[in-house]
Amino acid sequence: MVNISEMTFLEKTKYYYHKYKIAYYFVLPTAIAMVLMHFFPIVQGLYMSFLRLNNFTLNQYLGAPFIGFGNFYDVMFNPSSPMRIGIYDAVRNTIIYSFLVTIGQTAVGMVVALMLSIEFKGRGLVRTLFMFSWIVPTYVTGILWGFMFQQTIGIINIILVDWLHLLAEKPFWLVGVNSIWAIIIPTIWRFWPFSMLMLLAGIQNVPQSLYDAAKIDGAGKWKTFWKITWPMLSPVWMILVLFGMIYNTYSFNIVIMMFGNGAGFPGKWGDLMMTNIFRNSFMRWDFGAGAATSVLLLLVMIIVVNFWYKHYKKTEEIF
């Protein structure tokens, strides 16, 4: 009998290779594709962050002047750097946006999933209709909500002011502090059906015996949710939160299409990290500073994702 614990690292590698050889062969094409599509671009972007790669040196590309951590300093600390202007507004907005959108789409998805877990006539049709906003492309969502948030003719202000009389005057949604809400709401609308679908699948896998026992013990619906449904769904909603943090931090299409159809500046309260990087890299042609900002964002996300994933693994071990 083979004692794996007494093997050296090299011996373990050979043992597992010969035991699972066919599995490694199947994984190999995917691994090669991942290296070509992700690893090489990441390495190239990291190298570009150390270069003075702008509109004057772009013809030299990777042969542009090497400036070390100069781009990182300009992005974080140099008040006279154009790349530094607005970066902390983008960081603040991205944190608020990512947090509220992730919580919002998970919460809405949970409420609708609980509703659809109850048997009623036409449930299949309702479930299909609820998937509509997830089917709409993100750039179409940005254009659509951009029109809806118009100050005078937008349907949002018409409903709030003219129909419901909730506000005295029509506010500006695409200018000023309301811009953050103008990008949060459409993103939640766009992605909550995915959360609903995942949570509904999780709810349907919760053993009915647990609910029967809770009913016998006299537990109400609210207590049953917090003591049974919510804990049993933790592997699902923790993954949804993880994916939400990643996707929303790198959100781009909705915001860039809402403000000037891809060419406008979202403003102090609408600018996110990705729109900031895009504007400074492809409109100012400062690719070195843009790459430096992307590297910083990547490092922060690696820390956040690893922290959340470790917490998720601990929760998974409990169940």
User: Which domains, from first to last, does the chain contain?
Assistant: 86-283 (1.10.3720.10)
In this predicted structure, the answer to whether residue 267 has a pLDDT above a threshold of 90 is no
What distance in Å separates the CA atoms of residue 298 and residue 307, rounded to the nearest whole number?
14
More confident residue, 141 or 5: 141
- Mean pLDDT for the stretch of residues 193-208: 92
Percentage of residues in the chain with pLDDT exceeding 90?
Answer: 48
- Mean pLDDT for the stretch of residues 99-109: 96
pTM above 0.85, yes or no: yes
What distance in Å separates the CA atoms of residue 44 and residue 41, rounded to the nearest whole number?
5
Q: What is the mean pLDDT of the chain?
A: 88
In this predicted structure, the answer to whether residue 318 has a pLDDT above a threshold of 60 is no
What distance in Å separates the CA atoms of residue 113 and residue 157, rounded to the nearest whole number?
30
**How crowded is residue 226: how many other Cβ atoms within 10 Å of its Cβ?**
11
pLDDT band of 260, cuts 50, 70, 90: low
CB 113 within 8 A of CB 121: no
- Mean pLDDT for the stretch of residues 68-92: 88
